[in-house]
Structure 1
Amino acid sequence: MIVIIYQLCRLLFLFFNRNAFNGLTLKTFLGGLHFDLSAIAYINIIFAILHFIPGKFKYKSGYQKGLKIAFYVVNLVFILTNFVDFEYYKFTGRRSSFGMITASGMENEIGGLILSFLTEFWFLPVIALVLAFAFWKTIPNIKLVFSEEKVNYLVVKQIGLFLFLIGFVFLLGRGGFQKKPLKVVDAVNYGSISHSALVLNTPFCILKTIGKKETLESPKYFAEAELNSIFNPVVATNPSERQTKQNVVVIILESFGRENIQRGQTPFLDSLITKSLFFENGFANGKLSIDAVPSTLSSIPSLMSSSLITSSYSINEIYGLPKILKDNGYNTSFFHGAFNGSQNFDQYCKVAGFDTYYGKNEYDGPEAFDGKWGIFDEEFFQFYCRKMSSFKQPFFTSIFSISSHNPYKIPEKYKGKFPKGTTKIQESIAYSDYALKQFFKTASQQDWFQNTIFVITADHTSSEPTEEKFKTNVGKFRIPILFYNPGNPTFGGISYRNVQQIDIMPSLIDLLHIKTNMITFGKSYQSEKDFVVYYLDNIYHYIQGDYYLAFDGKKALALYNFKNDELMKTNLISTEKEKAATMERFIKAYVQSFNERIINNQLTVH
């Protein structure tokens, strides 16, 4: 019965995320069965031992009743973790790990968010209750009868049966006779890489990450000299022009995926794009908010299963924008309107070297708590503007908006003012765009405005894309990235180069004409390099020029010309072997460099 329930959960997962999966085959579901049997075996190996262990005690009705209750409770808990991903997958693009299920870094707000989640998705608890009832009713009441066979024969028989069955359960758990136990990344063997989340189940992903800190290993693809000749993140800038001493403001907009721009939901941002240097091919380096901050402000991509901020490498020394600009006379600060401690941003700010962190606790203004998450964007952006006017110039400051985050609340006074759009998030996107407009209206009247470079981007794309091109492994990372310099009206235009969050730091260093030595995994927008790298579902995704490559750490899986083949239907891995080999060589060097520097705490240049 448990196997059937896991299949039902997979079908429910597919139903709730049906827009994310196309071109499914039987192989995908057979792969799913493989992972289900592994998870079920791991979860129930203790019950197999307790049920088959030799001895008279197991024939007692009380023992069997206790075993049944424990079996039911433990399995039900794991089964219900699938229900989290029925909706959460829309935001993360991957199955939940142990850290995501336990809401690491979101302890303060999780209570309100869970209540909001249960209210909005009330049908999920209802389905869960029906499933829980059916599961209990199908578990038989096993009545074992002690045999009167000769004791010696009975003991030998029980030991033999015990060893055989435990061995069988263990074999199911490891996934078969292959050299290494089944891993999350093995899901790519059962169809398209975009189907991995459907092949997997949440209990399996939790079991593979429970109690584990993120630990990286060097793949040792290349010797050091060859590695650095392919990719070297050490950059030394030596500008010929004098440092500008302009203020820097980096605005990170929650869930402002590229699809939401220029669809009528963001009229102000649309107008700002026309006055800015806008990157048509802008990409996020992760799918979670917690990934975006190190990427955007420290040029460190998210190439691990957990975020750098919550990993065992979270206190590695970092020399990113806060420290570089502080060393050049800047006052530095970070603003986030959610509960202090949310997503460990305050901890990151200390490691990154910000002078000051401003969260919900530091907010000073009209009552504007949304009741769930933090301070509404309009009021917090105004607070942000007031604080900036009190800072000594030059200053570097960053703000992370919150209102376009689930549960997508907007103030009562604005109900009906903004277009609803076609998905749940879009009304709150329109509200946040309005809040941004009000911020710039106030900021434009301040004496520091004309001497400020504004960078506006998103943390990641939003859930439930409606256009097919935003459902691919390229499209689901597309975000707006723009640089606005009001003091220089000639600075602007549209660039079609591939630009990512980790490119923001080196780009600003170039714009400000700062001399420094730094570690950056990105490149300046002025560079001739044209690459983007991100990581999802244990796959490295690499864009170079017009091409996209999927790499699993050992071999290239797929190659597409994503600009000509926007929906990525024609895999060129076997027809453009030279291109695939060249791109594979670069991504290997990139991953090795990242892993070794994270492991050895070498994110600074001494």
Structure 2
Amino acid sequence: MSIMLFIELFSFAAEFPFWDEFKTKFNFIAVDYLIYTYEVVENINQSYPIPMLIFGLAVCIFLILYFFRKKGIFKYAFSDQMRFGERFIYTAIIVISSLGMLKLLQNKQAEFSSNTYVNELTKNGVFSFFSALIANELDYQQFYSTLPEKEVYTLLKKELLQENENFTNTKFDNITRKREGKSTENPNIILISIESFSAEFLQKFGNKQNLTTSYENLASDGIFFTNMFATGTRTVRGMEALMLCVPPTPGNSIVRRPNNDQLFSIATILKKKNYDLKFIYGGDGYFDNMNAFFGGQGFTIVDRNRGNPLPENIKTERINIEDKDVTFENAWGICDEDIYNQSLKMADLKTKSNQPFFQFIMTTSNHKPFTFPENKISMKEGSRESAIKYTDYALGEFIKNAKTKSWFSNTVFVIVADHCASSAGKWEINTEKHHIPAVIFNFKSTKMEVGKLASQIDLMPTLFSLFDWNFENATFGKNIFIMKPEEERALIGNYRTLGLLKNNIFTQIDDHKNTRQFLYNHENKTISNELKLKNEVLKKVTISYYQAASERFKNGKMKERSN
């Protein structure tokens, strides 16, 4: 009883300072507070007299309990002789009604006025919180700087269109570009997303610990992108960027949001070329909604099925990684060597059918608790550095085994980080904590370093252009190779702060409709010296990227059928 009263009183009291700062009832920002616990606790400690607030709540709880006891409410409530069957009926009615209301009611149904304040005041704070938790998004129009829609698309289309491309129609909001290509070859593609693989771990970028020998050997034998930036700070952001090739929209990743199936993605392009698609993950892909997302784009799921079924609307095959195929496993999933063995197994099976395959592999070993099989590397488990070294070792063994396969000569490997290590938990954006390595390996023995500033969202469209494919592209990704210096850019953000890195300036927009700009240092990848006089062109381009991405997902324009 005391705990429930504390939660109710605390949530009631919390609505006042939240309204004072954001002029709304609880939304995804409140959900965000649960994600960034350390920052929030520190901020509250510095902003409010916490001991006095806790004492005040304790006094209120004591007075309420005293009143209940004085009036005999507890005695009445716990002395009722109602039969179990009757209690069950009443309970069932309450539970079913509550669940039904949660299904039927939507927070936006309270919005009947053109006045935002009126709409927000009509909402229930707790219901708003759980609605935001389910939706996983922050409404761009309400919280961020905006431009007229036609101006947004005019700027965006100018940003996206490259040589050898034409828009498929003249609608003002159509971003689908047709690329003219000549090749009919469809090589196999294995995309490896390595957990928390920061550029700072590579010797190329100054690390002296000799942790990534295998990766750097692949980089020297392939196409090495040395100036690439992750869009976000979490695995699902990396997946979103690599699959959908879109900027990081406010709130959580699209991977975790409702209605995220059948979106235009790299899978759309690959399916038109008859690729077999597999998502291979060493844990249970139920986590972070990964299975629903990949299944919704047409992938076969290969994971550790722990009894969590796919959503009813996702009709796809699911292959369970059997215990006999696992040599080591922790809370996050099987070790990298085991997941790569699954990749080899699936590739062998698909080669027999003479169909090109695409695999999206998500590794897990470079994640706390940093455990892995014994006697593989010279370092003991338990540290980030040892996990990096094991991850690199497993990658090297995978490529060594792949080279013995008949399909290797016709397979291109794309090896990239999902995000940087130690990059989560920040409200402000640290650009150096988004710098990641990326390699395209085994493409016609091509060896080169590409130092152009680029984003994770550009990697796969660049690969398809490298193949000289004829394809339609409705993503925000571009071909890195033909970017002119003035076109180079990276889109990076977190849950609430969004930014564009371009022309030595980092432009940052936030959920208070603020815009800030900083000078960017290319050598150490950091920002400094906030600019007093803003570059209005970059401000508008930044807004255009994020406003269009948010609007297109919200209104269903990202769906395959819309392109």
Query: TM class, shorter-chain normalised?
Result: 0.5 to 0.7
Match of 1:360? 304
Cα pair 2:504 2:520 within 8 Å, conserved: yes
1:190-269 pair list within 5 angstroms: 213-218=136-141, 221-232=146-157, 234-262=175-203, 263=207, 264-269=210-215
- For residues 243 and 384 of structure 2, the distance between their equivalents in structure 1, rounded to whole angstroms, comes to 26
Residues in 1 aligned to 2:248 and 2:233: alpha-carbon distance in whole angstroms: 9
Residue number in structure 2 paired with 1:586: 541
Matched, 1:532 2:478: no
- For residues 559-605 of structure 1, the C-alpha deviation after alignment (integer angstroms, 9 at most, x for no partner) is 1222267543322x115x3xx32211101111110111011111134
Q: How many residues align?
A: 431
The answer (yes or no) to whether the contact 2:194–2:363 under 8 Å persists in 1 is: yes
Kindly provide the amino acid, as one letter, of the partner of residue 223 in structure 1.
P
Instruction: Indicate if the aligned counterparts of 1:533 and 1:543 stay in contact, CA closer than 8 A.
Output: yes
Contact residue 547 and residue 561 of structure 1 kept, 8 A: yes
Match of 1:324 among 258, 269, 292: 269
Residue 388 of structure 1 deviates from its aligned partner by 0.6
The partner residue of 2:47 within 14, 34, 39 is 34
Question: Which amino acid in structure 2 is aligned with residue 508 of structure 1?
Answer: L
- Report if the CA contact (8 A) 1:331-1:395 is conserved: yes
Give the match for residue 355 of structure 2: 393
Secondary structure of 1:569's aligned partner: strand
Please say if 1:290 is aligned against 2:240.
no
Q: Which ranges of structure 1 fall in alignment gaps of 5 or more residues?
A: 4-16, 22-27, 65-178, 184-204, 466-470
SS of structure 2 residue aligned to 1:594: helix
Determine helix, strand or coil for the equivalent of 1:293. helix
CA distance in 2, matches of 1:33, 1:334: 45
Give the secondary structure class of the aligned counterpart of 1:497. Answer: coil
Match of 1:447 among 406, 430, 445: 406
User: Any unmatched runs of 5+ in structure 2?
Assistant: 1-9, 11-35, 75-115, 121-127, 161-174, 306-319
Q: Deviation at 1:38?
A: 13
Q: What secondary structure is seen at the aligned counterpart in 2 of 1:442?
A: helix
CA deviations 1:486-536 (Å, max 9, x no partner) are 2512x2311121222211231122123332323212222124221111222
Structure 1 contact 539–550 (Cα < 8 Å) conserved: yes
Indicate the larger mover: 29-38 or 392-401.
29-38
Structure 2 Cα separation of the partners of residues 39 and 278 of structure 1: 56
Q: How big is the alpha-carbon RMSD for the aligned residues of Structure 1 and Structure 2?
A: 3.9
Letter in structure 2 aligned against 1:34 = S
- CA contact under 8 A between 1:549 and 1:560: conserved in structure 2? no
Deviation at 1:451, TM superposition (A): 1.6
**Secondary structure of 1:345's match?**
helix
Determine helix, strand or coil for the equivalent of 2:394: helix
- Picking from 482, 485, 488, the partner of 2:444 is 488
The one-letter amino acid paired with 1:426 is E
SS of 2:518's equivalent in the other structure is: strand
Conserved? CA contact 1:376–1:410, under 8 Å: yes
Q: Distance in 1 between matches of 2:72 and 2:211?
A: 62
What amino acid sits opposite 1:245 in the alignment?
Answer: N
TM-score by length of 2: 0.68
1:595 aligned counterpart, secondary structure: helix
Q: Aligned with 1:559: secondary structure?
A: strand
CA contact (8 A) 2:136 2:256 kept: no
Instruction: Give the residue type in structure 1 aligned to 2:221.
Output: K
Say whether residues 1:556 and 2:519 are aligned partners: no
Report the residue type matching 1:393 in the other structure: Q
The percent of aligned pairs where both chains have the same amino acid is 22
Check whether the contact 1:265–1:419 (CA below 8 A) recurs between aligned residues.
no
Distance in 2, Cα, partners of 1:30 & 1:398? 39
Match runs of 1:8-407 below 5 Å: 33-34=46-47, 48=60, 51=63, 57=67, 60=70, 213-218=136-141, 221-232=146-157, 234-262=175-203, 263=207, 264-315=210-261, 317-354=262-299, 356-361=300-305, 362-364=320-322, 366-391=325-350, 392-407=354-369
Secondary structure in 1 aligned to 2:516? Answer: strand
Does the Cα contact within 8 Å between 1:281 and 1:499 map onto a contact in 2?
yes
User: Which residue among 518, 521, 529 is the counterpart of 1:570?
Assistant: 529
Counterpart amino acid of 1:396? F
- Deviation string 1:196-255 (CA, Å, 9 cap, x unpaired) is xxxxxxxxx989955665253436833343222200362323324223211111110011
Structure 1 residues 207 and 390: alpha-carbon distance in aligned structure 2, compared to 1, 3 A threshold = closer
Letter in 1 for 2:463: L
